[in-house]
């Protein structure tokens, strides 16, 4: 389990250099990403639930027939 969390973190970090990014799910899955492994979550004001692997988070989105992940990095305002 811990190995998968570390791998997820590494992959999320690799694809999220700027602090926010959108990536096709298939790209992350090819790298070995597994969305079932996360350390915590955060719900925004729109009730979207971001799952986190340590400080790197992701939100699954469907656009037409394509599944994507919105990637974010943990911010101080997410504490409250």
Residue 4: which residues within 8 A CB-CB, separation 6 or more?
Answer: 34, 37
Query: Residue 79 — very low, low, confident or very high, per pLDDT cuts 50/70/90?
Result: confident
| Verdict on whether the full-model pTM lies above 0.75 | yes
Distance CA 47, CA 50 (A): 9
* pLDDT (tens digit per residue) in 21-68: 999 999 999 999 999 999 999 999 999 999 999 999 999 999 999 999
Stated as kind and residue range, the H or E segment containing 72 is strand 66-73
Contact 64, 49 (CB under 8 A): no
Q: Are 39 and 4 in contact (CB under 8 A)?
A: no
């Amino acid at each position: 389990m811990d190995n998968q969390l570390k791998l997820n973190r590494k992959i999320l970090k690799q694809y999220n250099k700027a602090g926010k990014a959108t990536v096709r799910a298939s790209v992350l899955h090819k790298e070995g990403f597994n969305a079932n492994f996360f350390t915590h979550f955060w719900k925004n004001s729109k009730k979207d639930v971001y799952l986190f692997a340590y400080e790197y988070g992701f939100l699954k989105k469907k656009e037409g027939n394509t599944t994507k992940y919105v990637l974010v990095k943990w911010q101080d305002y997410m504490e409250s």
